[in-house]
Amino acid sequence: MILEFFKNTVSTVRSINQKYAQPQIKMTRMVKFSLLSLRLYLIFLVGILVYRFITMLR
């Protein structure tokens, strides 16, 4: 039963990924720039979190 639940969940996630595979918003320069900035911002944050985690362990 648990295995079936996980199988169903995986297939649902796959179908969601297929459904939303292509972004529907028009990729203008503004949109591209904003998404790139967001990616860089998140990478920066993850870097800080990892640094904090390592310094805490020390």
Q: Which residues sit at the interface with another protein, rule CB under 8 A?
A: 12, 16-17, 19-26, 30-31, 34-35, 37-38, 41-42, 45, 48-49, 52
We find the least distance from the C-beta atom of residue 58 to another protein, in angstroms, to be 15
Nearer to another protein, 3 or 30 (CB): 30
Alpha-carbon Rg of the chain, whole angstroms? 18
CA dihedral sign of residues 31, 35, 40, 41: positive
Residues 6+ apart with CB under 8 A from 25: 31
Which of 7, 49 has the CB closer to another protein? 49
